[in-house]
Amino acid sequence: MEAAQKTSNEKPVFSEYDYSNFYYGAGDDPLNLLRPYADWYREARPAGYYLYMEALETAPTTRVRVKDGKTGQVRDLLNLASYNYLGISYRPEVKQAAHDAIEHYGLGASGSPILSGTFDVHEQFQQELARFKDKEAVVLFPTGYSANVGFISALMRSGDTIFLDQYSHASIVDGAILAKSKTVFFRHNNPLDLERKLTGVKGKKLVVVEGVYSMDGDICVLPEILEVAKRHGARILIDEAHSTFLFGPNGRGVAEHFGVDKEVDFHLGTFSKSLGGQGGFVAGSKELCDYVIAFARSRFFSCNLSPVLTAGLLAGLRIAQSEPQLRTKLWSNCAFLRRRFAEEGVDIGKSNSQVMPVMVNHDSRVLQVAEKIQERGLFLNPVTYPAVPKHKSRLRISVSAAHTESELEGAVQTIAGVLREEGICRA
């Protein structure tokens, strides 16, 4: 075993590996991968992986105090990482509603939503959310993940076919796995490829798309996808995790933005993004929601959303509806940032939303670039393979209505400055 001996003596650099190398192991012991992973992570963490899971010590406002994952030092940073697109989660009305609710209900729901865990505040929130979405009914889920997993597996069965965009969120893929349906992936945002995949497929068919794709920030080409899906007799589900409360004349989402809200069969969304809270929902007809309540296992085998959180979400929903100027400000901020990045030669890919990937495209350098940017006062997240394709590594920015132009201008100067120093964007 000379070559093996040679290779075991030569210690490879950590950057030759990534999480994907530690996913599959052989042998009879599921713990076999722990040691190789630990050996790798021991090197990877100080080299930049510490940038993941750094602890915040303040509310996710536009400025946050973050505990540096390498030094332990707490620093004041401009926040470009949190969702909280409308800056709602820390509004006084939201905090007061949650405060009042904890006084009234205590901490949690203490039960499944189908047993003892449904409170009057849940019912009120569902009713107001259904009115906002212009649907008959809404079903709440404990997380956005559980909404996709629960809904898809509640509706689809073995023998059915689910068509997923190749950039689908893990919760959508996991829902399809749990449904035991045949899963067919089509090229990202590509109606022609969807057409090719749908052709000749018999039986029940579901096409799943997202309003805004979370790694690239591009919007679904929904009218074209809808046209193809309908022509082939497929139902269509849109996950508006990153677009509910933001897009469309009333903020209902990308489906409303394109004027096809009624043509989309199933609408999902989350409260963790624009409302800065937690939870997910399905909106639709009362018949649909009754069925989902009966068959979505991820919901009825979980504890219900805390009434404290739900009260805060209800307050947040009312703000989102009554203050459309928040959306106006968000899109103004996005336009400003997009223009300034273009002027500075910073590549943000195909983003046309509040999610902006700053393309670094150097897998071995993205962590160092992110580290340098954080040292200069910005909090944002590096994204590398396997979350995105090789050589498509990036820094992901979440724009908020709460950012000021002055803060965003400072961010542009810092990011463009570091990218220039690193030779990643033009001088």
Partner 1 sequence: MPGITRYGYRDAISGFFEFPTENARSVLPRGFEPVEVHHGTSILAVTVFDFNESEVGEYGEVVYAVIVPPLVRDTRLPKSAFFPWQVATTTKAAREHAIERWHLPHWMNDVKVDFQREKGKTTAKVEADGAPALELVVTDHSWQPVSHLYQSFQKDDSGTYLANILFEGEKSEHEEEAGKIVLHENAFNKDIQISEVFETPFRELWMRNGCQLFDPLAQIEGK
Q: Which stretch binds partner 1 (CB under 8 A): 5-13, 91-99, 205-213, 291-299?
A: 5-13
Nearest Cα to 362, choosing from 384, 343, 340? Answer: 384
How far is Cα 220 from Cα 116, in angstroms, rounded to an integer? 39
Closer to partner 1 by CB, 199 or 406: give it: 199
Which part of the chain contacts partner 1 (CB under 8 A), choosing from 23-31, 45-53, 202-210, 374-382? Answer: 23-31
Question: By CB under 8 A, is residue 49 in contact with partner 1?
Answer: no
d(CA 52, CA 375): 15
Please identify, using beta-carbon distances, which residue of 47 and 260 lies nearer to partner 1. Answer: 47
Nearer to partner 1, 4 or 53 (CB): 4
Which tokens belong to 86? 């409308």
**Contact of 264 with 138, CB cutoff 8 Å:** no
Cα angle: 160, vertex 164, 169; to 5 degrees: 125
**Candidate list 47, 59, 74, 177; residue touching partner 1; CB under 8 A:** 177
Can you tell me the distance from the alpha carbon of 161 to that of 167, in angstroms, rounded to the nearest whole number?
18
Question: How many CB atoms within 10 Å of residue 29?
Answer: 9
Which tokens go with 30? 């599921």
CB closer to partner 1, 21 vs 127: 21
Residue from the set 59, 102, 184, 303 that interacts with partner 1 by CB under 8 A:
184
- Residue from 16, 53, 57, 103 touching partner 1 (CB under 8 A): that is 16
The residues pairing with 270 across neighbouring beta strands, listed in sequence order, are 280
Is 164 near partner 1 (CB under 8 A)? Answer: yes
Q: Which residue of 28, 71, 72, 92 would you call a contact of partner 1, by CB under 8 A?
A: 28
Q: Provide the strand spans (E) within 70-224.
A: 74-79, 137-141, 161-165, 182-186, 205-210
Pick one of 2, 53, 103, 427: the residue that binds partner 1 (CB under 8 A): 2
Stretch of 31-39, 247-255, 285-293, 322-330 lying at the interface with partner 1 (CB under 8 A): 31-39
Taking residue 93's Cβ as centre, other Cβ atoms within 10 Å add up to 13
Among the residue ranges 56-64, 127-135, 177-185, 308-316, the one whose residues contact partner 1 (CB under 8 A): 177-185
Instruction: Pick out residues in 363-402 that bind partner 1 (CB under 8 A).
Output: 385, 389-392
What residues contact 383, with CB distance under 8 A and at least 6 apart? 215, 357, 366, 393, 394, 395, 396
Containing H/E element for 299?
A: helix 297-300
Told to check if 249 binds partner 1 by CB under 8 A, we report no
Among residues 33, 74, 260, 293, the one that binds partner 1 under rule CB under 8 A: 33
Under rule CB under 8 A, residue 345 binds partner 1: no
Q: What are phi and psi of 239, to 5 degrees?
A: -95, 110
CB 320 within 8 A of CB 86: yes
Q: What is the smallest separation between the CB atom of 128 and partner 1, expressed in angstroms?
A: 36
**146 lies in the binding site for partner 1 (CB under 8 A):** no
- Count CB neighbours of 175 within 10 A: 34
How many amino acids of this chain bind partner 1 (CB under 8 A)?
36
Give the binding site for partner 1 (CB under 8 A): 1-4, 6-8, 10-12, 16-17, 21, 24-28, 32-33, 36, 40, 164, 166, 173, 176-177, 182-185, 385, 389-392
